[in-house]
Amino acid sequence: MMDALGAILLIPAISAALLALLPGYKLTAKLNVLAALATFLTSLSLFVIEPTSGQYLLLDDLNKVFIVLTTFVSFTTSVFSASYIHHEIETGRLTPAFLRFYHAMYQMLMFAMNLALIANNIGLMWVAVEVATLTTVLMVGIYRTHEALEAAWKYFILGSVGIALALFGTILVYMAARPVVGEGMDGMVWTVLVKHAAQFDPALLNVAFVFLLLGYGTKVGLAPLHAWLPDAHAEGPTPISAVLSGLLLNVALYALLRFKMMLAVNSAAITPAPLMVTMGLISVVFAALMLYRRRDIKRMFAYSSIEHMGIIVFAFGMGGPLANFAGLLHMTMHSLTKSAIFFAVGHIAQVKGTQKIAEIGGLTATSPALGWGLMLGVIAIVGLPPLGIFMSEFLVVSSTFARAPWLTVILVLGIIIALGGLFLRIGPVMFGEPRGKTAPAEASYVPMFTHLGLVLMAGIYLPPMLVTGFQNVAKLLG
Amino acid sequence: MSSLQFDIAHLLAGSLVLASFMMLYQDRLYALLNVYALHAGVLALSVAWQAYVQQAPHLYVTALIALVFKAIIIPVALHRIIRRLGIHREIENVIGVGLTMMAGIGLVALSMVVMLRVTPDADALAREDLAFALSVVLLGLLIMVTRRNAVSQVVGFMSLENGLVLAATGAKGMPLVVEISVAFSVLIAFIVIGIFLFRIRERFDSVDVQALDRFRGERR
């Protein structure tokens, strides 16, 4: 069976093997871009010819959105990565041998994320998330400095614990399914599970969901379980920070949503809403407060990612067609904006030779394109009009205000606190006295401005096709 | 299933919990590794017994992996790493042995209450297995929390994985995919750890996580 679904797994897998073997970083960087582009184009073909879902692979409206977003951001990030690593080689922070490994791991990560998104088997999905975690652990530690190793170690330990809890939850789901769908493979096939979930033992499903929420929630970076996230973002190569924030958090969220859909079918089981809403709100407020004392620019945007994942989980937790729609839109906008910000931050850190906020200043004067690009990204991420995040945040707030006014007030408060924190920190970086080195930037602006352009466009005009697509998914999510 | 078969399965799963308790209070790395080897050995026996009781021959593979890989290869390799790194000092427990044991007992009680209550309809063996498995998982977490040394945290994590394997085999007819993946992930995890330990060895004089903690947080 060699259809598009197989292809979006095979292309990254083969490229990973190829990139591990080929020498010469200029060639492999190009190949990396090419492979990512091929995967993206293949994912677009899913709209034209719809492959049939089997026992292992699945395609529906929900994961189509995730797949296209993932492959698109992977592609643009690979373009950014090519110019980023060029600089890293020149300054000697990375050696060619490490780059070979880096590119292979990049494609491996693409493979794992795509597999997690299209797996129809909850066991397979778990394996894919685990592989994605391990590859990113290796990439976070690639600089081999004290800080990078500590970040990778922390990420590895916390990620493994999370993934272990998720596996326990997966086993419990199988236990709940066994009396109904029988022993063997069927007990793990998602489409079968969701069809029969109404007859599952609700108590067992409840416990399973708690484990799954804790497990995959660790990977989403929800507040009490987020400790790995800022370190991993700050110490790894910036393309990986972009992929982590923009994509991997979404993949873990996708796994959670699948199980939420399963629970929704069973009327006797708990509704996951209060759990998700609480964790989402805690993440928003906590991360917003943490923004004020950040000294490292990448770490600051990592906290902003926690905040936005909190908003998204809050929206999905509230549920209903409108809030789900808002959550999906916010997720898409956040992926695009945050990766654009990391593209800018990556080049800025290279130009200035530091990530410390105190040592970067007056960017709009010294490197206008990067400075204004980042400024635009920050304006977008704090949720100011007319950019896309304003619209999605507005939708989240307005769709939930009638149902839970007090919760929404907390959410809005969190968003405003975050706005203050980000502007307070980013002001001197943008408009202050020029500080740090002012070498001309050899940056690739195309990925950054493409993302920001899309976000701006979404804020002004959403194509009706996208709207109906998202509405279908929102209905599916219940 | 005869009551003898049930009793033996029960005994083996219970022994695994006991082995987890033994790991809690080991204060030397070598001793901890030896108990871990015992832990994995008991797991292998337990899985093999499940394979026999459930007449599921593929589970013998899982048992074999547990025996060869977890009970022999990993402990031997970690022994060598410890010797090479020259860390044979005592493990520092963050809190005292007494408190740790009390916490462990509390966790086992918790998992019994939770798992037995939510699975009244499942067959007795699967229920007990799940309850024990959750105990092992929680005790593994406790080991990770109470240790400061990177190697012993890894050992705690591996004992946690053993609990997961016990749960997976207890769930009757669970597809082989998952078991292999569990074993496989342990393998990958071990490679990762190996690389990390060597990198840490290159950069630090000790693998004490406290030494890593110095670099935590914001760079100033």
To the nearest whole Å, the CA of B99 is away from the closest chain A CA by 23
For the ranges A348-352, B26-30, B215-219, the one whose mean pLDDT is highest? A348-352
Residue A216, token pair as written in the block: 């995959």
To the nearest whole Å, the CA of A184 is away from the closest chain B CA by 5
What is the rounded CA–CA span in Å between residue A15 and residue A32? 8
Chain A CB contacts of B212 below 8 Å? 146, 149-150, 153
pLDDT at residue B214 above 60? Answer: no
What is the rounded CA–CA span in Å between residue B140 and residue B159? 6
Domain containing B30 equals 3-216
Residues in CB range of A466: below 8 A, 6 or more apart: none
Cβ burial of A63 (10 Å; 0-12, 13-18, 19+) is: buried
Helices (H), A119-181: 122-140, 146-181
pLDDT at residue A443 above 80? Answer: no
Taking the model in full, what pTM does it have?
0.91
CB A300, CB A357: distance < 8 Å:
yes
The CB-side HSE value for A88 (13 A sphere, CA atoms) comes to: 26
pLDDT at residue B1 above 80? Answer: no
Predicted local distance difference test score (pLDDT) of residue A52: 77
Q: Quick count: other Cβ atoms within 10 Å of Cβ A87?
A: 18
pLDDT band at A143 (very low <50, low <70, confident <90, very high): confident
* pLDDT per residue as tens digits for the range A357-366: 888 888 888 8
* pLDDT per residue as tens digits for the range B172-196: 777 754 555 565 556 556 555 655 5
Chain B CB contacts of A192 below 8 Å? none
pLDDT at residue B46 above 60? Answer: yes
What is the rounded CA–CA span in Å between residue A37 and residue A266? 41
Chain B CB contacts of A150 below 8 Å? 212-213, 215-216
Residue A445, token pair as written in the block: 């602006």
Mutate to test the interface with B, among A168, A205, A206, A356 (most CBs of B within 10 A): A168
Average pLDDT value for residue range A155-178: 88
- Going by C-alpha positions, the residue among B45, B22, B18, B16 that lies closest to residue B34 is B22
Average pLDDT value for residue range A244-258: 93
Chain A CB contacts of B219 below 8 Å? 147, 295-296, 356
Strands (E) in A240-345, as ranges, are none
CA distance from start to end of chain A? 32
Provide the 3-class DSSP secondary structure of residue B208. Answer: strand
Predicted local distance difference test score (pLDDT) of residue A46: 86
pLDDT band at B205 (very low <50, low <70, confident <90, very high): very low
- Which CB contacts under 8 angstroms, 24+ apart, belong to B45-50? B45/B12, B46/B9, B46/B12, B46/B13, B46/B15, B46/B16, B46/B166, B46/B169, B47/B165, B47/B166, B47/B169, B49/B8, B49/B9, B49/B12, B50/B9, B50/B129, B50/B169, B50/B170
pLDDT band at A225 (very low <50, low <70, confident <90, very high): confident
Distances (CA, A) of B21 to A92, A191, B44, B141: 49, 40, 18, 12
Average pLDDT value for residue range B107-122: 85
* pLDDT per residue as tens digits for the range A380-393: 999 988 899 999 99
pLDDT at residue B86 above 50? Answer: yes
| Cβ–Cβ gap A164/B172 under 8 Å | no
pLDDT band at A345 (very low <50, low <70, confident <90, very high): very high
pLDDT at residue A92 above 50? Answer: yes
pLDDT band at B220 (very low <50, low <70, confident <90, very high): very low
More confident of the two residues A393 and B87: A393
| Cβ–Cβ gap A172/B178 under 8 Å | no
pLDDT at residue B102 above 80? Answer: yes
Average pLDDT value for residue range A306-317: 95
pLDDT at residue A184 above 90? Answer: no
- Going by C-alpha positions, the residue among A111, A110, A117, A113 that lies closest to residue A53 is A117
Question: How many domains does chain B divide into?
Answer: 1
CB B181, CB A123: distance < 8 Å:
yes
* pLDDT per residue as tens digits for the range B60-85: 888 888 888 788 888 887 787 777 76
Chain A CB contacts of B171 below 8 Å? 171, 174-175, 178
Average pLDDT value for residue range A410-435: 90
Whose tokens are 């699967």? That residue is B126
Torsion sign (Cα): A268, A274, A277, A278: negative
Backbone dihedral angles phi then psi of residue A296, each to the nearest 5 degrees: -105, 130
Residue B50, token pair as written in the block: 């499940």
Element containing residue A199 per DSSP (H, E): none
To the nearest whole Å, the CA of B61 is away from the closest chain A CA by 17
- Going by C-alpha positions, the residue among A459, A476, A347 that lies closest to residue A63 is A476
Residue A457, token pair as written in the block: 């466009």
pLDDT at residue B216 above 80? Answer: no
How many angstroms from the chain centroid is the CA of residue A3? Answer: 26
Q: Is B143 on the interface with A (CB under 8 A)?
A: no
| Cβ–Cβ gap A175/B196 under 8 Å | no
| Cβ–Cβ gap B122/A175 under 8 Å | yes
CB B203, CB A146: distance < 8 Å:
yes
* pLDDT per residue as tens digits for the range B12-37: 999 999 999 999 888 888 888 899 99
> Percentage of chain A with pLDDT > 70?
99
Q: Which of B119, B141, B189 sits opposite A204 (nearest CB)?
A: B119
Predicted local distance difference test score (pLDDT) of residue A304: 94
Cβ burial of A227 (10 Å; 0-12, 13-18, 19+) is: middle
Predicted local distance difference test score (pLDDT) of residue B147: 81
Chain B CB contacts of A296 below 8 Å? 218-219
Average pLDDT value for residue range A412-440: 87
Average pLDDT value for residue range A17-34: 88
What is the rounded CA–CA span in Å between residue A56 and residue A42? 19
Mean pLDDT of chain A: 89
Residue A68, token pair as written in the block: 């296209």
Average pLDDT value for residue range A99-104: 89
